[in-house]
Amino acid sequence: MVSFSQLTYAQRGKEHPHPLARELFAVMERKRSNLSLAADVATKAELLALADSVGPYICVLKTHIDVIADFDADLVAQLQALAEKHDFLIFEDRKFADIGNTVKLQYGGGVYRIADWAHITNCHVIPGEGIIQGLAEVGVPKGRGLLLLAEMSSKGMLATGAYTDKNVEMALANDFVIGFIGSRRFTEERDLITMTPGVGLHASGDALGQQYRTPEMIVTENGSDIIIVGRGIYGPGKDVAAEAQRYRDAGWAAYENRLK
């Protein structure tokens, strides 16, 4: 059996059973991009400006909507308009971690109403399979998709071994799950997408334990599908559009090398 990582994104999109995964693969092919921007900024103006600048180069915009100090409904409307303008999906990196009934309320309601506008969200499976079921009750009718946090990119993370294996087991049992946050391809039993944070053009780290790995390490060698980049693109003194283009090109080159 040929590994899913040896198939093109177009081939995988054509055969994928989940409509949102098919849409994501189609965006990646159209834009020749497997880059997701981690937009960790604190104001509405910053987020919109950043999304507009990098929009042409990304397949997914990853947000932390609860750090936006001046969040309002207009921000959501403008993000949706930018997603349509630039042809990208929105991933709210909410990292849900509560029981099923609670996450239903957090995902579908509250101030942010995440399920109304985020194509993708994610969760920890610490509470058990009920968290997936609770999120699915809200997300499935809206055509959304879920990622499980099988691994994280910080030093000393506890998502390893049997815990990571349990993520895979739960993903295989739940059609709402389209993939993982992690550093590698986890299974060949089903085509589950891997998105990887902590990617830089040079392997390094920061003072708070973040560990950076290159696109070649993550995509070519480990079989991950989408690289997530934040400060490497919009850090102090950086030309945001130029850096986004550099990372897009590096991620796509790593993908093409994987197919050889």
* Structure-block tokens of residue 3: 């590994």
| Cα dihedral: 187, 192, 198, 203 (round 10) | 50
Please give the DSSP secondary-structure letter assigned to residue 18: S
Name the amino acid, one letter, at 151.
Answer: E
CB contact at 8 A, 61 and 49 = no
Whether 95 is catalytic is yes
Helix (H) or strand (E) holding 241: helix 240-259
Find where tokens 């409509």 sit: 19
| Cα dihedral: 144, 86, 112, 42 (round 10) | 140
Alpha carbon distance 151, 160 (integer Å): 7
Residues 6 or more apart whose Cβ sits within 8 Å of residue 84: none
Q: Which of 14, 31, 85, 95 is catalytic?
A: 95
Point out the residues that are catalytic: 95
